[in-house]
Amino acid sequence: MRLILLGPPGAGKGTQAQRLVAKHGIIQLSTGDMLRAAVAAGTPVGLQAKEVMASGGLVSDEIVISIISDRLDQPDMKNGFILDGFPRTVPQAAALDDLLKKKHIKLDAVVELRVNESALLQRVETRVAEMRARGEEVRIDDTPEELAKRLAQYRSLTEPLIHYYSERRKLLTVDGMMTIEQVTREINRILAAIGATEAKAAAKKALAKKAKPAKAVKKPAKAARKAAKGAKTAARRPAKAPRGKGNGRAAKPAKKLTKKRAKR
């Protein structure tokens, strides 16, 4: 199972990704985790990323794709993966498509968790108010203001991916405003339907291959064809006149006796 999870911040992608990992035995791929692992391992692409991050720059799409490429080659990827947080833009999605094509890896589905942004903001406001009431510290990136910025960024950069994957018939949309359990059940339902459809198509293909008619009998050998051709040619030729004795020439008619010889 190879999946991508799409959805704005707060849609519940992380929660659903963990449940899919537990159910299907697949690996959750986070670009942040992969970058840190590559840097710690000192791989060539990890060293490139380290140099960029040390200078305060943003790691390029090429470097991220290279890190994903290296990760996909690891043995634990045999059961599949879930990409959460990548791709974020259409160019990244196109680069990922090219990578998967080169590796002969099929992307099964892109699951979009669709939510109401106003409801998300209200959820965050309620959570922050409850935390403050309990005297707990609120993280800077977990405020309504910060969430509003992240939602705006999602709309401008990532939301176009919905159209991108819809055109490629990979997009499956789930109502992210349902309860966590309901969202999980719906995701499992549509993934099971995909699996059943693919199994049916594979069985049909195997049956068609098995029922394929036998190959035509090979043509006669070259010598046999030549003999047959010679027989046809001989049948078309006219019969020859009989030959005379001795020199092989046709027999000539006897000469008439001359008058002189007749008198004798």
Catalytic residues: 13, 88, 127, 139, 150
- Print the SS3 string covering the chain: CEEEEECCCCCCHHHHHHHHHHHHCCEEECHHHHHHHHHHHCCHHHHHHHHHHHCCCCCCHHHHHHHHHHHHCCHHHCCCEEEECCCCCHHHHHHHHHHHHHCCCCCCEEEEEECCHHHHHHHHHHHHHHHHHCCCCCCHHHCHHHHHHHHHHHHHHHCHHHHHHHHCCCEEEEECCCCHHHHHHHHHHHHHHHHHHHHHHHHHHHHHHHCCCCCCCCCCCHHHHHHHHHHHHHHHCCCCCCCCCCCCCCCCCCCCCCHHHHHC
Residue 83, beta-bridge partner list: 4, 29
Q: How would you label 170-200 residue by residue, b for 16+ Cβ within 10 Å and e otherwise?
A: bbbbbebeeeeeebbebbeeebeeeeeeeee
CB 124 within 8 A of CB 10: yes
